[in-house]
Amino acid sequence: MAHHAHEPQVTVLPPDKAKIKKLWTVALYLLVITIFEFAVAFLVPHEYKQLRVWIFVGMTIVKAGYIVGEFMHLRYEVKVLFWSILIPVLFIVWMLVAFVYEGIKMPVFQ
């Protein structure tokens, strides 16, 4: 085998038990939040529309925080990178508020 000599010597490190445990804990949180959302969907009556929506939106932001912060590792990146990603997201919030407001004020399809 000609290129066998070029195979590098690789030292495999043992699994980082604490880190892996943390990842599974985050997965558990995500699961629990999703189950909680289901509970709200079935237990809180549709008459409380506002309350339902705010719970769903809040839980979604918490889930997004865990996915981006822990799974995508953004929490542990340099502060400049962290804010370069987070600040532009404010535009999305603005867009959401503006468009839904517009939709309520302009019932063109009714």
Partner 1 sequence: MAHSTAAAVTGKSVWDGGASPMNASYGKLMMWFFLLSDAFTFSGLLITYGLVRSSHQAYEGLVSAFTFSTEYWPIPEKVFEAVPFLHGYELPLVFVGIMTFILIMSSVTMVLAVEAGHRMDRKAVEKWMLWTIIGGITFLSCQAWEWTHFIVGTDTATLKDVFNTKTGLWEQIKVTGANLHVNQYGPQPFADFFFFITGFHGFHVFSGVLLNFLIYYNTVTGVYERRGHYEMVEKVGLYWHFVDLVWVFVFTFFYLV
Is residue 39 involved in binding partner 1 (CB under 8 A)?
A: no
Is residue 25 involved in binding partner 1 (CB under 8 A)?
A: no
> What amino acid occupies position 62?
V
**Which of 5, 43, 90, 108 forms a contact with partner 1 (CB under 8 A)?**
108
Nearest to 59 by CA among 97, 32, 88, 28: 32
The DSSP annotation for 33-101 comes to: HHHHHHHHHHHS-TT-HHHHHHHHHHHHHHHHHHIIIIIS-GGGS-HHHHHHHHHHHHHHHHHHHHHHH
Is residue 19 involved in binding partner 1 (CB under 8 A)?
A: yes
Is residue 60 involved in binding partner 1 (CB under 8 A)?
A: yes
Is residue 100 involved in binding partner 1 (CB under 8 A)?
A: yes
Is residue 71 involved in binding partner 1 (CB under 8 A)?
A: yes
Question: How buried is residue 30: exposed, middle or buried, by Cβ count under 10 Å (0-12/13-18/19+)?
Answer: middle
Interface positions with partner 1 (CB under 8 A): 6-8, 10-16, 19-20, 23-24, 27, 30-31, 34, 37-38, 41-42, 45-46, 52-53, 56-57, 59-60, 63-64, 67-68, 70-72, 77-78, 80-81, 84-85, 88-89, 91-92, 95-96, 99-100, 102-104, 106-110
